[in-house]
Structure formats: C-alpha cells, structure tokens
Amino acid sequence: MLPTFQRAMQRRSIRIAGVRLGPLTLAQAYCLHAWESPLVQGGDVTPADFALALWTCSRPCWPFHRFCDAVVRGRPERTLARWGRRYDLRRLTEDVATLRLWVSWHCKLPPRFLKESGASRGAAAPWPLVVAVQVMPILGERRTWTAPVPEVLAYKIALDNAQGDTSWKSEEEEAQGYMTDGCRTQSDS
C-alpha cells in the first residue's frame, strides 16, 4: 500500500511541551505555510517560531475568520507568554525536533507534488491550498479543511489516479516507497 494511504488510516497525536496535538489538519498546515514556519519551509527554528507553530497546531484553524480574529486579538502572544512562564528552554532542541518530525510525518508529500514544472517553480499557492481546491468538490469545505492531512492527500492522489495521472509510476517515487511491486503492471516490468 502506498505510504500516503497508510498514514491516512492512522490518527497520530502527540504531547509536546505539555500541549496535546491531535492529527495535523489541512487548515493547520496551510496556516504554518502562511506563517512561513521554518518547520515547513526549512531552516533554524527560534523559540518564537516553535511557540507559534505549537500554538497553531493546537488550535482548530478553520473557519479561518475565527482563527484570524484570535490572531488579531493577540491570542498567540498571550498563550505564548503563559506557556513561557512554565517552559524549560533546555528542552527546546528536543521539542523542536519532535514537532518537526510530527509535522513532516503528516505532510510527507510524494515527489510529484514538489516537482518544478517548466519555467515556473511549481504552484503559485501553498500546496495545502492547491490540494484543498482539488478535493473540496468531493469532501466539502468543512471536511477538507478539518480532515487530517494524510487523509486529504489520499483523496487527492486517488482523484489524480482516477483522472489518468500515472506520475506515481516514476522511478523517483518508487525509490521513496510510493510504489510497491503489488502496484506494478506487466508493462512496467
């Protein structure tokens, strides 16, 4: 079975810095991209980056207008200040690594989602928005944004395959485990 479909069946939750995180939703992944979080963009994670990402992942980010109202009213700063009083900064490196692993587990994309296309450098919008637009007609707006990322990705891949996309058969995806011998056809051998 393709790794994306395996992850879609699991509901992975975790506790980091005393905060319980349920499965990462597509809305939360989109907000991490909106914050330009180093957890999704790459790079060094500062204590402020860690705290903002942890706050984002611990909140329902949809509907977006409520989430944005909370941001404008200073909820992240107040929450971060409250957490900061009881947080041991000596644990930061370990907690950042755990959060990075948790986010990457949910957001591990097949290589075809990340390829550059022609002269452009891929999609102009963050990948969570591109995926949402494609699966929203099937799942509806609420379900699309509140479903765990692996589940939404499984729907997107199934939709791509139903529309004749065969990019999952590439050698690059096979090397990363996105194609198994059980998926090969006689013409592929």
Q: What is the pLDDT of residue 67?
A: 84
Under a CB-based contact definition with an 8 Å cutoff, are residues 147 and 106 in contact? Answer: no
Q: Determine, yes or no, domain membership for 131.
A: yes
Q: Determine, yes or no, domain membership for 187.
A: no
Bridge partners (DSSP) listed for residue 148: 25
Q: What is the pLDDT of residue 114?
A: 60
pLDDT by residue (tens digit) across 63-97? Answer: 888 888 888 888 888 877 887 778 888 888 999 99
Distance CA 143, CA 189 (A): 39
In sequence order, the 6+-apart residues with CB closer than 8 A to the CB of 124 are: none
Q: Which of 168, 175, 32 is nearest to 107 (CA)?
A: 32
Q: Is 146 exposed, middle or buried (0-12, 13-18, 19+ CB in 10 A)?
A: middle
Under a CB-based contact definition with an 8 Å cutoff, are residues 155 and 87 in contact? Answer: no
Q: Determine, yes or no, domain membership for 130.
A: yes
The values of phi and psi at residue 20, to 5°, are -85, 130
pLDDT by residue (tens digit) across 94-117? Answer: 999 999 998 988 887 776 666 554
Give me the domain span that covers residue 76.
7-110+123-182
Distance CA 123, CA 149 (A): 18
Digitized pLDDT (tens) for each residue of the chain, 189 residues in all: 456 566 666 777 789 988 899 899 999 999 998 888 999 888 999 888 898 899 999 988 888 888 888 888 888 888 778 877 788 888 889 999 999 998 988 887 776 666 554 444 455 778 898 899 999 999 999 999 999 998 898 888 888 888 887 776 667 766 766 554 444 433 343
Q: Determine, yes or no, domain membership for 189.
A: no
Question: From residue 108, how far is each of 24, 66, 128, 139, 142 by CA, in Å?
Answer: 12, 28, 12, 21, 22
Q: Determine, yes or no, domain membership for 1.
A: no
Q: What is the pLDDT of residue 97?
A: 94
Q: Determine, yes or no, domain membership for 96.
A: yes
Count of structural domains within the chain: 1
Q: Determine, yes or no, domain membership for 138.
A: yes
Distance CA 161, CA 55 (A): 36
Under a CB-based contact definition with an 8 Å cutoff, are residues 30 and 146 in contact? Answer: no
Q: What is the pLDDT of residue 183?
A: 43
Q: Determine, yes or no, domain membership for 2.
A: no
Q: What is the pLDDT of residue 100?
A: 93
